[in-house]
Structure formats: C-alpha cells, structure tokens
Amino acid sequence: MPAGITETDGMAYVGRRPWHGLGTYVEGQAMTAAQAVEAANLDWEVVAEPVYRGGLGYYKEIKGKKAIVRKDTDEVFGVMSDGYTPVQNLTCFDAINAVVGSGDATFHTVGSLFGGRRVWMLCRLPGDYKLDNGEKLESFILLDNSHDGTAALRMRLTPVRVVCSNTLGAATSSRAAFAAKHTSGIMGRVNEARDLLGLNAAYMQRLMDDANRIAEQAWNHDEMKDMTYKLLDLEPDIAIDRQYGVKAPAASKLLDLFYLGQGNRGETRWDAFNAVTEYLDYSRGGRAVASIDSTDDKVVSGRLQNSWLGGGGEVMRTQAWSILVG
C-alpha cells in the first residue's frame, strides 16, 4: 500500500507546526488525551470478529483466526491468529501517561496513516538540552502502534533539533527503545517501558557529548560528497548531475543542505549530520524527480513514515552517524 493519508485519517498538534507540516492546530501548550483523540479523529475502536469460509450454501467459521476491523468504518485491517490482541488508541495514550507517571510529559503531535492502520503520538519530555554551540535539543517519546499486524507497539526516545524541528532519531548506538507484540500480556509489559525514562538522561548525555565533539571537527566539501555517494548508493564513476533518475536531485539537495540547511554553515561534521536529517524530514521524495521537496500529502506522509515509523530514513541516519562519529 502506498504511503498516504486517507479521508478517515487525522492529525493534530500544539505549539510550533511539526516538520511534516500536517495536522489540525490545537490551542495551548499541550494536548490532553481527550483533546488529541478528538482533534486527530482517533475516537474509534478496533474489534475482533470471526472469519468464515463458505460455498454451496454453507458458511463455516475458520478456527484460530479473527478479522481486525475498524468499528466506525467497518474496514478490515487484517486477519490475525487468536493470539493477536488489539491495543486501542485510548489505551496508547494511557500507556504513555503510565510510563511518564509524573504528568510532566505533553502530547505534541498525534495522528494516523493508511486509514488508521498505523497510529502514533509524539510526547515531549520536560527539559531542554543545550549544545556548546548554542543549539538546543528537545527530548520526546514517540509511540507508534499498528492495527494490521505489521508492527509491534513501540516507544522510543527521539531527540529533536529545535532550530528546524528535524528528528535525530537513531543518533546513538545506545538508543533507548521498547517494543511489545500484540499478545494478551502486552499492557502488562508496558510497565517495562518505564526504563525508558531511566535511560533518558544517559541517552541524551551520550548524544550531547558526541554532538559537541563532532560540532568541533571540520568536514569539507569532498568529504560531504563522498558521504553522499555512500548514503544514496550513487554510481561511483558518474558525476552527481548525471546520476540516474531521482538520485541526481537527491544528491544535489543533500550537498546544498550541508551549506544552506537551517543552522548549518558547511564547516563541521555536525553540519553534515544535520544536512542528512533535514533532507530526510523535509526533502526526501519517492521515485519521481518532482517528489524531492514536494509538499504533496502523499509524499509528505511517506517522509513521515520513513522518519518515524521505520524504513530507509532510520537506516540512513544510523549510517551517517556511524560515518561522522567514527
């Protein structure tokens, strides 16, 4: 199924507009679970229904299988085994509240994709982190859940660069993350996710230490060009402007962001990493040349899926970080 936002999906945010540029603005500095559910059109449930096969005038239930159905639209998200346990949208909000516990976290961005098959919520944790160069980072918990069996319920710590709101995702090898399969004990396991907050200080400190270090290390045009060839898997003996299809404008954009990206000066390894993250969050397209920098909803939702819900974006971030941190 291609990435896209359907008529039955919704998104909402508070504060500054999120990098993906989508959603309904909600007044105030934070959303309660009730506000988020209403503003993002998440006030629906999934139900498990029996599955039948039939022929020649009879129907027979298929034992051990059930259909996962969105109740308000009657859309079947998938056919699962009896062991599959749906996690309702409201339960996801409860899970984050239980993990944070103190009530200091605030819901910043929430929404769904693919007609509700994937749901996410981005929850800001208290405190700002300031680099030696004056830049600020913020710390978030990102929860995402699938209703079609394609992904576990996950919670991850996700730093965000304030100057342009691009996500630093997989920026350290010790990234704090939690995942639970959709089984009968899933909500009991969510309590284990409390360890995320215990790891938050250590995770962010490691990120700050590494970021401060690479912000002091020079990185020149030739080095950025070499990394671009590796990240985008370009043909090594062909000039960038002669690369096939979308690879040429993608590579040019990545090089431009090294110099002209928000907060960048084209001088350091930190500039190089932020060029990669800004490219992934704001510019990356699909197979068509015109999709680079496109603001079309389908293209934008594809970027969101890759950046937040897994895929090539996370791989590229990790690869770039590994090259730059060494």
Any domain includes 265: yes
Q: Which of 152-156, 199-203, 319-323 has the lowest mean pLDDT?
A: 199-203
Q: Which long-range contacts (CB under 8 A, 24 or more apart) does 64-69 make?
A: 68/147, 68/148, 68/149
**Which of 235-251 are b and which e, b meaning 16 or more Cβ less than 10 Å from the residue's Cβ?**
eeeeebeebeebbbbbb
Q: Which two tokens stand for residue 189?
A: 């396991």
Number of separate domains in the chain: 3
- What does the pLDDT read at residue 143? 92
Summarize pLDDT for 1-50 with one digit per residue, the tens: 345 678 899 999 998 888 888 888 998 877 888 888 889 999 999 999 99
Last residue of a domain, one of 168, 196, 212: 212
In a shared domain, residues 120 and 202: yes
- What does the pLDDT read at residue 172? 57
In a shared domain, residues 172 and 115: yes
Rounded distance, CA 298 to CA 20, Å?
11
In a shared domain, residues 137 and 240: no
In a shared domain, residues 27 and 122: yes
Last residue of a domain, one of 152, 180, 212: 212
- What does the pLDDT read at residue 194? 83
In a shared domain, residues 241 and 114: no
In a shared domain, residues 150 and 163: yes
**What is the arithmetic mean of pLDDT over 139-153?**
92
In a shared domain, residues 30 and 69: no
Q: Which of 73-87, 230-244, 294-308 has the lowest mean pLDDT?
A: 294-308
Any domain includes 245: yes
Last residue of a domain, one of 168, 188, 212: 212
In a shared domain, residues 150 and 32: yes
Helix 221-231 to helix 247-260 angle (10° resolution) is 140
Nearest to 105 by CA among 211, 172, 196: 196
Residue 18 · residue 282 · CB < 8 Å: no
In a shared domain, residues 182 and 260: no
Q: Which amino acid is at 8?
A: T
Residue 56 — pLDDT band, cuts 50, 70, 90? confident
Any domain includes 101: yes
Q: Provide the 3-class DSSP secondary structure of residue 192.
A: helix
Any domain includes 3: no
**What is the arithmetic mean of pLDDT over 218-233?**
98
Q: Which long-range contacts (CB under 8 A, 24 or more apart) does 1-4 make?
A: 1/114, 2/298, 2/302, 3/113, 3/114, 3/298, 3/299, 3/301, 3/302, 3/304, 3/305, 4/113, 4/114, 4/297, 4/298, 4/301, 4/302
State the chain's mean pLDDT as an integer: 89
The boundaries of the domain holding residue 59 are 46-81
Any domain includes 6: no
**What is the arithmetic mean of pLDDT over 258-271?**
97
Name residue 120's beta-bridge partners: 111, 144
- What does the pLDDT read at residue 173? 53
- What does the pLDDT read at residue 323? 96
- What does the pLDDT read at residue 58? 84
In a shared domain, residues 94 and 122: yes
In a shared domain, residues 21 and 148: yes
Top-confidence residue, 294 or 57: 294
Summarize pLDDT for 156-201 with one digit per residue, the tens: 888 999 898 888 876 555 567 888 999 988 888 887 888 877 888 8
Rounded distance, CA 128 to CA 134, Å?
12
Rounded distance, CA 308 to CA 182, Å?
20
Any domain includes 1: no
Q: Which residues contact 290 (CB under 8 A, 6 or more apart)?
A: none
Any domain includes 169: yes
Any domain includes 2: no
In a shared domain, residues 290 and 280: yes
Summarize pLDDT for 74-133 with one digit per residue, the tens: 999 999 999 999 999 999 988 888 888 765 667 889 999 999 999 999 988 888 899 999
Rounded distance, CA 169 to CA 322, Å?
13
